[in-house]
Amino acid sequence: MTRHANSSAGAILGAMAKLLRAEFGGKRGAAVAVADDPAHAMELLAAGKPGGLEIVIFYHADAPAGQEGLAGDPLVEGQISLGVVRSRGLAARPAGEPPPALADAEAVRTFLARADAAGTLTGSYEYAGMTALQSRPGEFLHGYALAYKVLYAFET
């Protein structure tokens, strides 16, 4: 039987937040937080300060991944989302500059593509797409949600 280094969703979220705070957020003045759940993530993102960059990480879902023959170490493919919001404030953007929220989301995506993913079996965060962020009433937030897949084993 193959034994994998066990991890948990919470440990993976914590490692991602630590990495973003230490090597990305500080250089860009970004606040990085781990939300309790998706609803909490939307509350944190909507409450951002004008002109501030907020990155909120939350666990979206998971599914079993190849558990056959792995008694004691079931594999999970987790789905992690990062909300990346740049609250606009009232200042107008000069013509010719890229949209700040899109540029921030692309910078996070590029950073994570080069990063080591602690707690995952593959050692990387697998990018799974980007979408606009909307609040429950359907209002758009000034940012994007980046989706990632992570493969990890948990102990039963």
Tell me which residue of 81, 67, 87 sits closest to 38, measured CA to CA.
81
Is residue 4, in this structure, part of any structural domain at all?
A: no
Q: How many contiguous H segments (helices) and E segments (strands) does the chain have?
A: 4, 5
- Specify the pLDDT at position 65: 83
69: left (phi over 0), alpha (psi -120 to 50) or beta: left
Model pLDDT for residues 18-61, shown as the tens digit of each residue: 999 998 998 888 999 999 999 999 999 888 777 789 999 999 99
Q: Which domain holds residue 98?
A: 9-153
Reading the block at residue 34, the tokens are 């781990």
Is residue 88, in this structure, part of any structural domain at all?
A: yes
- Specify the pLDDT at position 1: 34
Structural domain count of the chain? 1
Q: What does the pLDDT average to over 59-64?
A: 91
Q: What does the pLDDT average to over 77-101?
A: 77
Is residue 2, in this structure, part of any structural domain at all?
A: no
Q: What share of the chain is helix, strand, coil (3-state, %, to 5)?
A: 30, 35, 40
CA distance 54 to 120: 25
- With 0-12 CB in 10 A as exposed, 13-18 as middle and 19+ as buried, what is 107? middle
Is residue 31, in this structure, part of any structural domain at all?
A: yes
DSSP 138: S
- Specify the pLDDT at position 90: 55
pLDDT at 69 over 50: no
What is the model's pTM? 0.85
